[in-house]
């Protein structure tokens, strides 16, 4: 078997060498890859003279990134939503790391943070702005949602990110720095109802326009597109609690269209897929964020995680019927009935 494989490989190599077109394609590809690899590995200097602001550092990616950048020597300004989150982070970092309270949906809070950062960075400007704060829940079937369920998520993940960026951009311009926006594979392929996918599509679009507009000012804009990772955003406890709230508020005709058992079946299927897909190694995400801040030539998009690279991103380029079939197969089908308005449901009389 091994001898057979070796002779196949020999035949392939012979075929490539003897064919000038194939061999020049192969050599050019290898040279291109080597050039790309070397270019991608080049780093910036003097990180100890650079300041980076990260939002949403109470937990998850933001928390790890703040500690990672602090360890590398950056002047980190880590913004947290809660005092407890800020206290815990300060205890785990060097005295160089500064924390601030920032709610990205509150303009006054953003303004206070801006005043602080302006005084902190002075003439140097802000090298990095990492828009990481975000929430996901409620996610679930679209007709279980109220418009407020969309608004809350969009306010944090999209409008908050836009307002923070607009306010801090002059300081980033001063440093000819970087903006790193945390999107998601769900901003490339909508997998569930609710505001989350919409907000991340918005982040993609906002970042694309910002990148093109800021190109003239030497500012790089990168988008991080993680797959599924085990953090607060993918906490099954939070997602299931919100889903139950939505289910309990549904009018009986919507519940009937899904069937009595649908909620339990949905939660079970969601829990199985999440447990299968979520990775615990969140440093894969923070390493990409760090690359976007420290590489001489940062990438425009960083797909992170095996599920993002091998499944969701390729699916997003494929025909809709393929992604529709796969996503439908991950969730149960409704087994209820729809009562027509001109029809009497006799089982209820």
Ligand X SMILES: NC(=O)c1ccc[n+]([C@@H]2O[C@H](COP(=O)([O-])OP(=O)(O)OC[C@H]3O[C@@H](n4cnc5c(N)ncnc54)[C@H](OP(=O)(O)O)[C@@H]3O)[C@@H](O)[C@H]2O)c1
Catalytic residue IDs: 196
Can you name the residues that pair with 180 across neighbouring β-strands? 130, 222
Residue 76 in the binding site for ligand X (CB under 6 A):
no
Q: Which is nearer to ligand X, 160 or 298 (by Cβ)?
A: 160
Residue 51 in the binding site for ligand X (CB under 6 A):
no
Q: Which stretch binds ligand X (CB under 6 A): 22-30, 58-66, 239-247, 250-258?
A: 58-66
Q: CB of 162: closest distance to ligand X in angstroms?
A: 13
Q: How far is CA 68 from the centre of its chain?
A: 18
Q: What is the secondary structure of 131-197 as a DSSP string? A: E------S-B-GGG--HHHHHHHHIIIIIIHHHHHHHHHHHHHHHT-EEEEE--GGGTS--SBSHHH
Q: CB of 56: closest distance to ligand X in angstroms?
A: 3
Residue 103 in the binding site for ligand X (CB under 6 A):
yes
Residue 232 in the binding site for ligand X (CB under 6 A):
yes
Q: CB of 340: closest distance to ligand X in angstroms?
A: 40
Q: Which is nearer to ligand X, 221 or 262 (by Cβ)?
A: 221
CB 256 within 8 A of CB 205: no
Residue 226 in the binding site for ligand X (CB under 6 A):
yes
Count of alpha carbons within 13 angstroms of residue 15, beta-carbon side = 6
Element housing 129 (H / E) = strand 128-131
CB 161 within 8 A of CB 180: no
Per-residue DSSP letter, 342: T
Residue 59 in the binding site for ligand X (CB under 6 A):
yes
Number of Cβ within a 10 Å radius of residue 8: 10
Residue 99 in the binding site for ligand X (CB under 6 A):
no
Q: CB of 61: closest distance to ligand X in angstroms?
A: 4
Answer for which of 179, 210, 233, 293 binds ligand X (CB under 6 A) is 233
Residue 56 in the binding site for ligand X (CB under 6 A):
yes
Residue 104 in the binding site for ligand X (CB under 6 A):
yes
Query: Which residue, chain included where needed, has tokens 């993680």?
Result: 226
Tokens of 343: 């029809």
Answer for which of 50, 52, 61, 66 binds ligand X (CB under 6 A) is 61
Answer for which of 50, 54, 58, 144 binds ligand X (CB under 6 A) is 58
Residue 220 in the binding site for ligand X (CB under 6 A):
no
Residue 197 in the binding site for ligand X (CB under 6 A):
no
Alpha-carbon dihedral of residues 265, 267, 272, 276, nearest 10 degrees?
150
The residue ranges that bind ligand X (CB under 6 A) are 55-56, 58-62, 81-82, 85, 102-105, 132-136, 156, 160, 182, 184, 226, 228-229, 231-234
């Amino acid at each position: 078997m091994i001898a057979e494989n070796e002779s196949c490989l020999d035949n392939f190599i012979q075929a490539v060498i003897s064919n000038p077109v194939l061999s020049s394609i192969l050599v050019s590809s290898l040279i291109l890859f080597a050039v790309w690899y070397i270019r991608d590995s080049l780093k910036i200097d003097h990180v100890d003279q650079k300041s980076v602001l990260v939002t949403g550092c109470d937990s998850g990616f933001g928390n790890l990134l703040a500690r990672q950048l602090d360890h590398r020597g950056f002047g980190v300004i880590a913004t947290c939503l809660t005092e407890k989150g800020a206290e815990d982070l300060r205890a785990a970092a060097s005295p160089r790391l500064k924390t601030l309270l920032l709610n990205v949906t509150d303009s006054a809070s953003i303004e206070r943070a801006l005043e602080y950062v302006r005084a902190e960075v002075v003439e140097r400007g802000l090298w990095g702005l990492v828009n990481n704060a975000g929430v996901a829940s409620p996610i679930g079937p679209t007709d279980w949602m109220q418009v407020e369920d969309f608004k809350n998520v969009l306010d944090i993940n999209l409008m908050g990110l836009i307002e923070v960026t607009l306010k801090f951009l002059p300081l980033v311009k001063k440093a000819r720095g970087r903006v790193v926006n945390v999107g998601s594979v769900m901003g490339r392929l909508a997998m569930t109802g609710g505001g989350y996918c919409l907000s991340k599509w918005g982040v993609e679009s906002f970042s694309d326009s910002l990148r093109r507009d800021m190109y003239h000012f030497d500012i790089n804009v990168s988008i991080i597109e993680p797959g599924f990772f085990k953090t607060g955003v993918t906490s099954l406890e939070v997602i299931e609690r919100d889903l139950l709230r939505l289910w309990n508020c549904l009018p009986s005709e919507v519940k009937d269209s899904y069937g009595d058992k649908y909620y339990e079946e949905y939660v079970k299927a969601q829990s199985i897929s999440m447990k299968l897909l979520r990775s615990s190694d969140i440093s894969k995400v923070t390493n990409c964020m760090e690359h976007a801040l420290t590489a001489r030539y940062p990438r425009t998009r960083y797909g992170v995680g095996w599920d993002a690279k091998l499944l969701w991103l390729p699916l997003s380029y494929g025909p809709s019927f393929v992604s529709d079939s796969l996503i439908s197969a991950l969730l149960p089908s409704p087994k209820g009935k729809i009562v027509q308005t001109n029809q009497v449901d006799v089982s209820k009389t």
